[in-house]
Structures are given as structure tokens and as C-alpha cells.
Structure 1
Amino acid sequence: MKKRITGRFTVILFVIGFMTATQYNTVNMDDSRDSRDTWEIRQQLSREKQLHSELLSEISLLDETLGKYSDEATQDPQAVLKETVKDLQNSAGLSQVIGPGIELEISPSLEAIALGTEITEIPPDLLIRLVNEINRFDGIELAIAGERVINTTAIRDINGYTTVNTEPISTPPFMITIMATSMEEARKLSSYLTASAIHDDFYIDDLTITISEPQEELALPAFDEEINMEHLQAGEGE
């Protein structure tokens, strides 16, 4: 009788222990899932807030422009129009600009030079990855080997040559000039690119990136080619 009671007690303890362990694992799994979901929501919220901030900045700029036109105290509307056209040209990259920034020198690696490795044009996809890394920062303007990069710029292979704005890029070494919104942003960009894994991608292709110290004044050339507007359509007025 005593053995039977002891056996039943053992079975009951086993069942309770098993249920407790199962509940503990379930709670842990739920916590992990909730934590992950919360982090994803926070990331999405951060992206939405950044977009909202950018939209507010654009709205503020447009309101300021409209205010110049609607202000009755404005005695020279022609001057306001010229200033607006100049701002639009700067935004589109159609004029030379001067400001703080850094320079990158793309050159053959020391190992490639020592071994006599033949250096060819930089692959378009590698150059695009570098441009994407640079464009992680807002307000960036750049020129690649003297070619101004704008929204419609294409980096691609044409007849075996890497081109920017349909212009062939010389075999390394060549320079990339990057302009930031301020010296502080230029320093941040320099630090970011210094630590970026993009260096490993370039090293595989026997290339290196040398980053200059941030400079107070760098000049970017104007985009001097015709902008392709074949996909733009004028709206019809009533």
C-alpha cells in the first residue's frame, strides 16, 4: 500500500514538473517573440519619423518660396524668380557648388602593384555600391572623376567601359569628390566610410579607397549634359 502511494505521488510530481517546464519554455518563447516584434516596430517608427521630418523640411521650404511671391512688400518679383531658378539649378546639380566635404582616391592596391597585376576599369556594380554607401547620408552631392552625379545619373557598362553619365571613367587612380551639408557631417561621413566594409569589396578587385581629411571648401562641377526628360509629361490645364 505504501509503495502504491509513493508511486502515485512520484507520477503526480513528474506531471507537475513537466507542466511547469512546458509553461516556462512557452513564456520564454513568447517574450522572445514580443521583443523581436517590438524592435521591428521601433525600427519602422524610426523610418517613418525620418520621412516625416524630411517632408516637413520640404513643406517649410515650399512655404518660404510661396511667401516670397505672395508678400506684397516684395518690390522686385523678377529677382525672386531668378533666385528660385538658381535654387532649382543648384538642387538639380546644374551649377557649380562649393562647400565642405571630403575626397576619395580610388587606386590600385599595393599588392597589385607589387605583383604587376593588370588593373582594369572599376566594375560598375562596385562603384554603385560605393555611391549607395555615400548616399546613406542626407544632403550629399558628389562627382566621380569630374562627372557630377545627379538623380538621373546612370553608372553602367558600355562596350566594356564603366561609364558615369555615359562618359568613360579612367582606369584607377581617379578621385571622387563628396560635398556634405557641414563640416560636422563631413567628419561623420569620413568616419563612417573609414570603418565601412566597402573596403573589403574593393580589395577583392585589387583596389583601395584613400579618404582625405575633411576640408572647408571643395568644388563640385556642374552637370553639363542634357537632362533626359522623356518620361516627364506636362499636365493639361482646364
Structure 2
Amino acid sequence: MNKKIVTRITIVSFIVGLMIAVQYNTVQNPTTRDTRDIWAIRQELSEEKKRHSELLSEIESYNDLIEEYENNEKEQQADLLENTVEDLNEQVGLTSVTGPGVILNISPAIELINSGYSIENISPDLLIRLVNEIYHYNGLYVEIDGQRLTHTSAIREINGETTVNSVPIDTEVEMKVITDSYEKAEKLYGYLFASTFKDDFYLDNLNLTINKAQSDITIAPYDGKLSSQYIVEDNKGE
């Protein structure tokens, strides 16, 4: 057989074999698809739109604040600045806050302890997950066992103990949560009551009690020192 014909047959066979291999691999390893139903996707989209709307509202409020500074006289600007500082102190946790919210209690499950189970420390990971869900569902301010949570707070294990703001927490813990309104406090209560958190804590031999929404809850200010490593003093002002 002519060498050219053999070469051509070899090349064609290689190409056909490669195409079959690619097709077989495509059939065996299909592209991963999103298997969530349409309602789950719509729910996630709704939450993202809600976050987007909140960010736009916050940007608008800051723009209004800037406009107030520009339009007011110096004396009025000083008063406005003082009010802004008070608002910021409240947001970062340097002042006490009173408002509607929910109180949660974590305590050892006595029935399990009487059956021979040991008392376990509250899991930092579980506590962090609970706090994240609280913030996600309208929680504004949170206090755990007397410790106010701020943007610098840490929940972690130190020397075998669960700590908040580096302070060990007790086996019986009260959590206070404040929301924007009583309606949002009721929604937060409903979500937590229907969630799996009670079962999750019970697996660690702990009872999580979720009390009904209250109209007035007071959270104490943060008594530690806030980090200011990213703040630079500007001495160029008039």
C-alpha cells in the first residue's frame, strides 16, 4: 500500500478516535447544572435585591447628610456633626441601646445531664452561625452574656473555653437582640423558632430557649477598646 495512503488513513483514524473520545467524555461528565427549583432561585434573588435596596438607601442617606453639611452655617454644621458622632457611637456599640427585640437563653439540658451526659462548652462555631443568622434576619445589636458585639468582636475558643471579646462565657448564657421595629422582632422570633438551632444546641447537650418578641430590651455599651488602626488623623483642617 502506498505510504501516503497509509499516512492519510492513520491521520483520519486518529481524528475520528479523538472525536469519539471527546464525545464519550462529554456524555460521561456532563456540565454541572443548578438543580435548585425556581422558587429557591427566586428567594435568593429576592434577598439579593433586598440587600441592594438597603445599600441604595444607605448611600442616599449619606448623600442627604453631605448636602445638609454643605447647606448649613458653621454653627449648625457643628450641631449636625455632633448628632452624627452620637449616631456613629450607637452603631459601633459605644452607647447603650433600647428597642424592640428578642431574648434567647442557652443552658445545659438537665434531662440529659441526669442521664449521665456531660456538660459541654457552647460551641464557638455554632454560636457564630447563630449570630450570623440573627444579623441576616434583621438583628441590629447583639449582646452575649453581657458582652456587646461590635465590628471587632471575636467569638472563639481560648484555653478550652468559649469566649466573646476574649471574655469566657458561662454555661448559662443570655443573648439579647435588638431590631429596627417590633414587627421585625416578631419575624426574627418566628424564623429562629422554626429553625433547626434548637436541635443543633440539643445535640451539644444544651437547651436553646427562644422567647417571644419584646417591645423594650436594653443592651449595654461595649466596655473594651475599639481598634482604630485604619484611622488617620488629618491635621490639615482649618
Counterpart of 1:186 in structure 2 is: 185
Do the aligned partners of 1:106 and 1:210 also contact (CA within 8 Å) in 2?
A: yes
Deviation at 1:51, TM superposition (A): 3.0
Whole-angstrom CA distance in 1 between matches of 2:231 and 2:211: 43
Matches within 5 A, 1:1-238: 42=42, 45-72=45-72, 75-171=75-171, 173-230=172-229, 232=230, 234=232
Contact 1:156 1:162 in 2 (8 A): yes
| Deviation of 1:34 (Å) | 10
Question: d(CA) in 2 for partners of 1:105 and 1:40?
Answer: 31
What is the one-letter code of the residue matched to 1:189? L
Q: Give the aligned residue type for 1:184.
A: E
CA drift of 1:134 comes to 1.2
Specify the SS of the correspondent of 1:132: helix
Maintained 8 Å contact 2:100/2:217: yes
TM-fit CA distance, 1:63: 1.8
| CA deviation vs aligned residue, 1:75-94 (integer Å, no higher than 9, x gap) | 53221111010011111111
User: What RMSD in Å do the two structures reach over aligned CA positions?
Assistant: 2.8
Distance 1:143 1:35 in 2: 39
**Cα deviations by residue, 1:175-203 (Å, 9 ceiling, x for unpaired):** 00010110000111111111111111101
5+ long unaligned stretches in structure 1: 1-32
CA distance in 1, matches of 2:173, 2:104: 8
Contact 1:109 1:203 in 2 (8 A): yes
Measure, in 2, the Cα distance between the counterparts of 1:206 and 1:104: 16
Q: Which runs of 5+ in 2 are unaligned?
A: 1-32
- The structural deviation recorded for 1:55 is 1.7
One-letter identity of the residue aligned with 1:206: N
With normalisation by structure 2, the TM-score equals 0.76
Contact in 2 for aligned 1:103/1:176 (Cα 8 Å): yes
Q: Which amino acid aligns with 2:72?
A: E
Question: Which residue of structure 2 lines up, in the alignment, with residue 19 of structure 1?
Answer: none
1:212 corresponds to which letter in structure 2?
A: N
What's the TM-score, normalizing by structure 1?
0.76
Identity, % of aligned pairs? 44
Amino acid at match of 1:89: N
Using the TM superposition, give the Cα deviation of residue 153 of structure 1 relative to its aligned residue in structure 2, in angstroms: 1.0
Q: Residue 50 of structure 1: CA displacement?
A: 2.2
* Cα distance in structure 1, aligned partners of 2:137 and 2:189: 11
Equivalenced residues, count = 204
